[in-house]
Amino acid sequence: MCHGIHHRDGERFPTLWNLLSVFILLVVPVLGVLPNPGPPPRHARGLRRLPDAPPAAPEVPPSRCVPGVAPDYNAFVALHTEHRATWLLSYREESDKPYQAGNRIDPSIALAATTLEALARALASFPTPDYVRPYIDCVRTD
């Protein structure tokens, strides 16, 4: 005869409740370590979320002219790139002289032309205005 502690069949193997309790004891401390989504940091509290980007515009066939964009856009961009240090170019289709340029150094100087070629010639022949940099005279007095 076997002496010792006798178990019922249900106590020999862990029951579903025992497995669940072990799982909870192991998982709950891990969940406590994960960062919680609290308020944003101080430096980001005043920032607003940007709206989602609008859907991409459909491609415009080259035969159609897009309003507000120069018809010869690539040439316009090339001219702007060439003269962007001293001139700010714009295109206004509602004007009788749609190609316009404003001088970055002297804002009182402005040019306007009916064609891009005329504006290119004017920008190439226009002398760059003098720009005097404001320096402070530092004089030692000993």
Phi/psi at 2 (5° precision)? -95, 120
Summarised one tens digit per residue, pLDDT across range 118-128 is 999 999 988 77
Instruction: Please tell me the distance from the alpha carbon of residue 79 to that of residue 117, in angstroms, as a whole number.
Output: 10
Q: Which residue do the tokens 């029951």 mark?
A: 15
What tens digit of pLDDT does each residue of 25-80 get? 887 777 777 776 777 666 666 666 667 777 766 665 554 555 678 888 899 999 99
Q: DSSP letters along 10-60, please? A: HHHS--HHHHHHHHHHHHHHHHHHSPP--SPPGGGTTPPPPPPPPPPPPPP
Q: Is the pTM for the entire model greater than 0.75?
A: no
Among 68, 90, 85, CA closest to 129: 85
